[in-house]
Amino acid sequence: MKYLVALLFQIPILLFAQGRTLDYFITQAQQTNQTLKDYQAQLASLRLDSEILNAALRKPQVNFLSTNSYAPVINGYGYEGAITNVANISELIQANRNFISRGNLAAQFGTISLQYRALLDTIQLSQRDLVRTITDQYLTAYSSLLQVDFNKELYELLKKEEVILKKLTQASVYKQTDYLTFYTTMQQQELTYLQAQIQYNTDYLTLNYLSGIFDTTIVRIDSPQLENIVSFNFYNSPFYTRYITDSLRIENERRLIHYQYRPRIGVYTDAGYVSTLQTQPAKNFGVSGGVSLTIPIYDGHQRVYQNAKLTVQEQRRQNSRGFFIAQYQQQVVQLQQQIRATESLTQKIEQQITYTRALIAANNKLLETGDITIRDYVLSINNYLAAQNVLTQNNITRLRTLNQLNYWNR
């Protein structure tokens, strides 16, 4: 037993070192989170997509084209020369460019811009999820730390009283059985204190893991400072702007469909060597140029179906937006009510703790004079322990509720 106690006390060796704050863990998590890093890489990729599209639509495309064939006639056997020309040599440098209207060009770039905007909304929501997760685990660890502090305080109190009670028992003021009852209670409290330390260690290391911190050192964490955000513009948050982005995406796709059915014109030019090697092959160097024109006429009403599909998407977007707004408003009101309820309950619990603490102080004096039974003294300790646990859990519940509210209102 002594070896176990010594071992357990060695685990939280830095438990009372300099504390770490909630902001520290959130910052570490944001810097190491692989999902956020992946989103940042996707943003960089979209910026490159914009450059690729700009190069493809605004700049001419130059290619080297080489086509070489030879069809010999041997002893009168071979392909018809009038068809194959016996030889066909083509070495060209060709440049071409398709002309796109400004509106079509804007719609093409709008697709990438809206993808970029949608990804920014996703990043903000992922950051909120990460902050909520880290904060929730921080509160779990902080709750365990409060249990450590309280159980240590109670254990030290019992240990101090045990010394007095032992002397009174030796003086026959209390029975030996009374002393053993109290000593058993003190031992139970010691184990509770050690278990609380182990639980804090576990919760703290889990917090490190979620934050991407590779460190097994156990230190204290500070009291979480959570702000109750009451002034918040929901319609500027990513919860709502993602619906705006989706609406813009649908409208942009309509424009792209419209431009698909507009006439398309392009030009090309080439220069090089084209010859059959039959007549003056040394003089078959030259240039050429041309214009291409495409006018859509009929495609089986695909345009109508594509627009109808976008109409369905828009209706679904509007229904989803309305449902989400109603859910958001209900959720926020419910969380605010829970916070007020826990704050009201906290005042009552603190009053009860004040009474139980005063009762313990009075019983301490009675214990020193032998005017209280051990059973009644232990009962007052248990009442204080129960009230303190209720207060801790109520405070943590309030902080968890506030964390949920800040998730929506941050």
d(CA 91, CA 277): 13
Residue 66: inside a domain, yes or no? no
Across 79-114, b (16+ Cβ under 10 Å) vs e yields eeeeebbbbebeebebebbeebeeebbebbbbbbbb
Alpha carbon 12 to its chain centroid, in Å, reads: 30
pLDDT band (50, 70, 90) for residue 234: confident
Strand 264-275 to strand 61-70: parallel, antiparallel, or no bridges (unpaired)? unpaired
Q: How far is CA 333 from CA 140, 213, 405, in A?
A: 24, 36, 9
Tell which wins on pLDDT, 11 or 306: 306
Residue 272: inside a domain, yes or no? no
Q: How far is CA 336 from CA 227, 325, 346, 394, in A?
A: 13, 17, 15, 15
DSSP H helical segments within 33-101, as ranges? 34-58, 81-84
Q: Average model confidence (pLDDT) for the chain?
A: 88
Widest Cα–Cα separation across the chain:
136
Residue 230: inside a domain, yes or no? yes
pLDDT band (50, 70, 90) for residue 13: very low
Q: What is the pLDDT of residue 99?
A: 85
Q: What is the pLDDT of residue 384?
A: 86
**Mean pLDDT in residue range 123-130:** 95
Q: What is the pLDDT of residue 18?
A: 60
Residue 109: inside a domain, yes or no? yes
Q: How many CB atoms lie within 10 A of CB 163?
A: 8
Q: Which residue has 């493809």 as its token pair?
A: 56
Tell which wins on pLDDT, 390 or 4: 390
CATH code of the domain in which 205 resides: 1.20.1600.10
Selection from 240, 228, 207 nearest residue 403 by Cα: 228
Residues 217, 218, 219, 223, CA torsion sign: positive
pLDDT band (50, 70, 90) for residue 157: confident
pLDDT band (50, 70, 90) for residue 5: very low
Q: What is the pLDDT of residue 83?
A: 75
Residues 154, 156, 159, 165, CA torsion sign: negative
- Where in 295-408 does DSSP place strands (E)? none
Q: Point out which residues pair with 287 in neighbouring strands.
A: 271
d(CA 290, CA 210): 63
Per the structure, the count of domains in the chain is 1
Long-range contacts, 401-405 (Cβ 8 Å, 24+): 401/335, 401/338, 401/339, 401/342, 402/226, 402/228, 402/339, 403/132, 403/135, 403/136, 403/139, 403/226, 404/132, 404/335, 405/228, 405/229, 405/332, 405/335, 405/336, 405/339
Token pair listed for 54:
């700009």
- pLDDT digits 0-9 by tens, 27-40: 999 999 999 999 99
Residue 83: inside a domain, yes or no? no
Q: What is the pLDDT of residue 41?
A: 95
Residue 82: inside a domain, yes or no? no
pLDDT band (50, 70, 90) for residue 8: very low
Residue 286: inside a domain, yes or no? no
**Mean pLDDT in residue range 318-341:** 93
Q: Which domain range does residue 36 map to?
A: 2-61+102-264+302-409
Q: What is the pLDDT of residue 11?
A: 47
Residues 127, 129, 135, 138, CA torsion sign: negative
Length of the chain: 410
